[in-house]
Structure 1
Amino acid sequence: MKKLVCVLALAGAFASTDALAWGNDGHRAVGAIADKLIKGTRAEQQVKAILLPGETLESIATWPDCVKGNWCGPQTPDMVEYVNANPKHSEYHYTDVPFQLDHYHDGAAGTADDDIVQTLKQAIAVLQGKDTPATNPHKFTPRQALILLTHMTGDIHQPLHVGAAFVDKDGKFVVPKTKAEIDETAIFDSRGGNNLLMDDAKLAGLVANLSSVIPPEEAKPVKEGVPKALTKPFHSYWDSTTVNYAFRRIQTRTPEKFAQAAIDSKPDVARSTGDLATWPYQWADDALAVSKQVFDGVTVGKITPQTGKKGETYYTWSLEVPQNYPVPSSAIAKTQLIKGGYHLAQVLQAIYQ
């Protein structure tokens, strides 16, 4: 038991960090798909006019994650300026609608004024030239709006960046009707799945048994002095592990090659319709539908209180998934990445038609 508590505490250190939806490769793949789809259009010309020489949608797709730290390198002056002007920027990447629901509604439980739907709506408005205090409360520049649109269109297609899990004290997934019900006493927020912890060794065993579908990965050098985490947050699994599996399933190693393979497959991606301001709502509703598949057959264990770096209490749960979970989850990731790329291209073409 003491060992288990230590393991969970270690996992908590990872679970409490900001989520990076789709990881580096996933976001770049979304951008690369859009780069290819808008080639030769007015949208491509307008994008080039906004971006710096040599930049592409693929290259700037990770920018809003890079501003959260120094893992992409030193912060550039425009990154510092953006962070200083947007102290809540890390909240722009997600919303937390209970995954059991079918629609995102402004002001409902789990939503916020600065969540991903509102941020996307504002970025679209800025690029349309609708730059008013009402449509652009954060005063995004056209460059920032394009960068945010590129990144957040990827984020909103990651199911756990929209469909959230709320857990009661008995370990059951529940639907809070109001924000006040999420009281961390009777109903707990799993923090976008970051506090739902998968056994990493068990997960490795699952995927090893599915090698006919998900080919083995090339061995990577082990970093000396860096202990291997014994658990993987469910959110992290969906951010990066499913992308890794999706790339391996179609035998591609780079975002550009994934993008080309995706386009060559001629996917049937439903087009968004109506006023562009409603498109983020449509994408959120689609992500909610997909998040129901994400949680199909998933169960949680006993609640475990943890203490954060600042002395605050939060809670984690062990998570069990079906034996073949890497297969459907990697297929979902592939589909959602492709949707993200196609929807990004569509919205840019609609803005600059």
Structure 2
Amino acid sequence: MKKLACIVALSGAFASFNAMAWGNDGHKIVGAIADQLIKGSKAEKQVQALLLPGESLEKVSVWADCVKGSYCGPQTPEMMAYTAANPKHSEYHYTDVPFQLTEYHDHGVGTAEDDIVQTMKQAILVLQGKDTPATNPHKFTKRQALLILVHQAGDIHQPLHVGAGFVSKDGQFVVPKTQAEIDSLNIFDARGGNNLLLDDAKIEATSSQLIPPPEGDAKPSTAPKSTTKPFHSYWDTTVVNYAMRRSSTRTPQQFAQWAIDSKPNIPVNTGEVVSWPYQWANDALAVSKLAYGDVKIGAVSKQTSRSTGESYTVWALSVPDNYPVPSSAIAREQLIKGGYHLASMLQKIWPN
């Protein structure tokens, strides 16, 4: 990528920290790929036994995000029971390992007992029958374990849901050696890239030249919006849109079929299935280095959360002019990996 940077404005509202990894379309792509790949297997029968009539991996792939609020519709009794039993459920979606590192280690900087790697392990053990709703730390039922695992298979392949940026007081990315060093005085937690702000208008302008929308698309909305986009949000949703545009697909099902038809070369998982989340986290760390490659930290300022009144530090972030091209290529590859890895995991849990 060329090291041509854009200057980022700092005005505008700040996005929620609970933004969905990959967004609805991204998670549904992962689920739709896995739906196709497990057809005719024992895993498909076991999955169907845990899903309700009319459900599929694609349809339930967003369940773990939908429980965070009412944006998918009213909370069901099942959702309310899950959130009541899991008050930290929003923390199950990510871990915050410094992106410069090469491996996820239990109890390492940025990890937690409730992070994505640990909760995936617990869900796997429940589905394997090696743990029970009464004994696992989060009281996951088999159905909940499946719903969570389907979603997390997408989350863990989103590079910023594993590799995190930590910023020094002089505006440089650094690697904290201990959790205690992240004190918001000398080392700041950029919250998975949520506190790194891109110039949204600049990104849209360059992407329209590099990644033209499909013919017949409606004109973009002229409604007022924030002038900035959190780096995390860009990787959650914007790159998925770019990836779909570059593959000339409009729906998760179309993208899934396009991906399978392309016969991708997917890395093979090795060892016990309970170790696979570690392998995927390490892969995402490697990819996060590409996501953060050639980005530049700019001016620092303070913003205040509209919902909590919390004051936090934000930084302008600049990226190369052609960033939409390599970032969308990475997203496309990670989405496909997520679908194939999810299918492989389910077939490992329930072998033929």
TM class by smaller structure = over 0.9
User: Counterpart of 2:166?
Assistant: 166
User: Counterpart of 2:114?
Assistant: 114
Please state if 1:328 is matched with 2:330.
no
In structure 2, how many angstroms separate the alpha carbons of the residues matched to 1:138 and 1:47? 21
Unaligned runs of 5+ in 1: 1-6
Please state if 1:141 is matched with 2:138.
no
In structure 1, how many angstroms separate the alpha carbons of the residues matched to 2:216 and 2:106? 42
Unaligned runs of 5+ in 2: 1-8
User: Counterpart of 1:302?
Assistant: 299
Relative to structure 1, the CA distance from residue 92 to residue 74 in structure 2 (aligned partners, 3 Å threshold; closer, same or farther) is: same
Please state if 1:275 is matched with 2:272.
yes
User: Counterpart of 1:218?
Assistant: 217
Relative to structure 1, the CA distance from residue 161 to residue 52 in structure 2 (aligned partners, 3 Å threshold; closer, same or farther) is: same
Q: Secondary structure at the residue paired with 1:282?
A: helix
1:183-202 superposed matches below 5 A: 183-202=183-202
Count residues with an aligned counterpart: 342
In structure 2, how many angstroms separate the alpha carbons of the residues matched to 1:307 and 1:111? 26
Q: Secondary structure at the residue paired with 1:343?
A: helix
**Which residue, out of 220, 225, 229, partners 1:228?**
225
User: Counterpart of 2:30?
Assistant: 30
Q: Secondary structure at the residue paired with 1:222?
A: coil
In structure 2, how many angstroms separate the alpha carbons of the residues matched to 1:141 and 1:133? 5
What is the CA-CA distance between 1:312 and the residue it aligns to? Answer: 2.3
Please state if 1:315 is matched with 2:325.
no
Superposed CA offset, 1:254-278 (max 9, x none): 0011000000000000111101111
Please state if 1:11 is matched with 2:17.
no
Q: Secondary structure at the residue paired with 2:192?
A: coil
Q: Aligned AA for 1:342?
A: Y
In structure 2, how many angstroms separate the alpha carbons of the residues matched to 1:179 and 1:328? 32
Q: Aligned AA for 2:80?
A: V
In structure 2, how many angstroms separate the alpha carbons of the residues matched to 1:120 and 1:166? 25
What is the CA-CA distance between 1:145 and the residue it aligns to? Answer: 0.2
Relative to structure 1, the CA distance from residue 112 to residue 135 in structure 2 (aligned partners, 3 Å threshold; closer, same or farther) is: farther
Relative to structure 1, the CA distance from residue 19 to residue 267 in structure 2 (aligned partners, 3 Å threshold; closer, same or farther) is: same
User: Counterpart of 1:42?
Assistant: 42
Q: Aligned AA for 2:218?
A: A
User: Counterpart of 2:208?
Assistant: 208
In structure 2, how many angstroms separate the alpha carbons of the residues matched to 1:348 and 1:164? 28
Superposed CA offset, 1:48-81 (max 9, x none): 0011111100000000001111111111110111
CA contact (8 A) 2:200 2:229 kept: yes
Once the two structures are overlaid, the 10-residue window that deviates more, 185-194 or 203-212, is 203-212
What is the CA-CA distance between 1:164 and the residue it aligns to? Answer: 0.2
CA contact (8 A) 1:96 1:110 kept: yes
User: Counterpart of 1:83?
Assistant: 83
User: Counterpart of 1:4?
Assistant: none
What is the CA-CA distance between 1:311 and the residue it aligns to? Answer: 3.1
User: Counterpart of 1:252?
Assistant: 249
Relative to structure 1, the CA distance from residue 116 to residue 211 in structure 2 (aligned partners, 3 Å threshold; closer, same or farther) is: closer
In structure 1, how many angstroms separate the alpha carbons of the residues matched to 2:34 and 2:211? 31
CA contact (8 A) 1:92 1:119 kept: yes
Superposed CA offset, 1:296-327 (max 9, x none): 10011122122224332211111100111000
**Which residue, out of 336, 339, 343, partners 1:338?**
336
CA contact (8 A) 2:11 2:226 kept: no
Q: Which protein has greater RCO, CA pairs closer than 8 Å, 6+ apart?
A: 2
What is the CA-CA distance between 1:216 and the residue it aligns to? Answer: 7.2
CA contact (8 A) 1:22 1:154 kept: yes
What is the CA-CA distance between 1:192 and the residue it aligns to? Answer: 0.5
User: Counterpart of 2:348?
Assistant: 350
In structure 1, how many angstroms separate the alpha carbons of the residues matched to 2:135 and 2:240? 34
In structure 2, how many angstroms separate the alpha carbons of the residues matched to 1:174 and 1:126? 38
Calculate the TM-score normalised by the size of structure 1: 0.93
CA contact (8 A) 2:132 2:141 kept: no
What is the CA-CA distance between 1:11 and the residue it aligns to? Answer: 2.8
What is the CA-CA distance between 1:221 and the residue it aligns to? Answer: 6.4
Q: Secondary structure at the residue paired with 2:193?
A: coil
In structure 1, how many angstroms separate the alpha carbons of the residues matched to 2:262 and 2:163? 28
Q: Secondary structure at the residue paired with 2:191?
A: coil
Relative to structure 1, the CA distance from residue 262 to residue 199 in structure 2 (aligned partners, 3 Å threshold; closer, same or farther) is: same
CA contact (8 A) 1:11 1:233 kept: no
In structure 2, how many angstroms separate the alpha carbons of the residues matched to 1:270 and 1:96? 23
Q: Secondary structure at the residue paired with 2:53?
A: coil
Q: Aligned AA for 2:324?
A: P
